[in-house]
Copies of this chain bind each other. A is one copy, B any other.
Amino acid sequence: MPERKDAHHLHDLFQLPPGRTLDICLKIHAAILEHRLAPGTKLSEDEVGEIYGASRTVVRAALQALAHTGLVTIEKNRGAFVAKPSIREAHEIFEARALIEPRVARMTAKAITENDLARLQAHIDAEHQALHDGDMGKALSLSGAFHTTIADIAGQQVLAHMVRSLISRSSLIISMYWKRPDTACESHSHHALMKAFAEHDSDAAEEIQKSHLIDLHSGLNLVEVRQQHDSLKDILRTG
């Protein structure tokens, strides 16, 4: 179960002490990453509190922590919503990833152990399995986990924290702008990275990661997406 292992590192994304606030953060975080919560969804304090059996105090703290990572947007007196990254934000996030992650991959190639390689391979296998099962959300989530695990292996916690945050937000971006929703997003890049890591070839790892991210970026359809619900009435009128 690779997810458990990552969960251990995940807590530092929120910088919160163990407790129910953190639990709720992680649950909602996972739900967003697996695309079970769509961008724009209202996260009512009462509703979330009832689901997890917690009071508003705790839920509120969790939502504010999620807001800080950019996964949730809080509007004054209106509450919390799953974030809807703009096109500009999408470009910026992938530009940041293209800057940071290749460097991280270089460090990973130097530091990686046999055990780490096995962990990464487990991610790839699990992702493959999820795709086979038709669980797209899980597959995407695991694809992100592959990247965060690479950052963990690099052993640079500050950069790893940034990568985790960027990847979480990338998940939202993909759910909004991915060109081929029904297409497997698994490229051969992850396999190529594995090879470079196994050979401790840091130059290759950096280069592969860089082009992989450029590929991902260009796989996005970054044009205005029409909002569906707001104009629902108008849509029905025309029919």
Chain A residues packing against B (C-beta within 8 Å): 14-19, 60-61, 64-65, 67-70, 74-76, 88-89, 92-93, 95-96, 99-100, 103, 156-159, 162, 166
Contact = CB atoms under 8 A, between A and B. Distances in A.
A188 B76 CA distance: 44
Contacts of A159: 92, 95-96, 99
B162 A67 contact: no
A96 B17 contact: no
- Counting chain B CB atoms within 10 Å of each CB, the highest count among A75, A162, A166 belongs to A162
Contact of A158 (B17, B60, B61, B89): B89
A196 to B, nearest CB: 20
A70 B162 contact: no
Contact of A96 (B61, B65, B92, B162): B162
6 contacts: A17-B74, A89-B157, A95-B156, A96-B159, A96-B162, A99-B100
Q: How many copies does the complex hold?
A: 2
A230 to B, nearest CB: 22
Contacts of A15: 67-68, 70, 74
Contacts of A166: 158
A1 B186 CA distance: 51
Contacts of A89: 157-158
Going nearest first, the 5 A-B pairs with the smallest beta carbon separation are: A17-B76, A92-B158, A68-B68, A15-B67, A96-B158
B68 A156 contact: no
Contacts of A156: 92, 95-96
A24 B105 CA distance: 39
Contacts of A14: 68
A7 B87 CA distance: 25
A13 to B, nearest CB: 9
Given A19-B76, A99-B100, 11 more contacts: A15-B67, A15-B68, A15-B74, A16-B74, A18-B76, A61-B64, A89-B157, A92-B159, A99-B99, A99-B103, A100-B100
Nearest to A73: B15
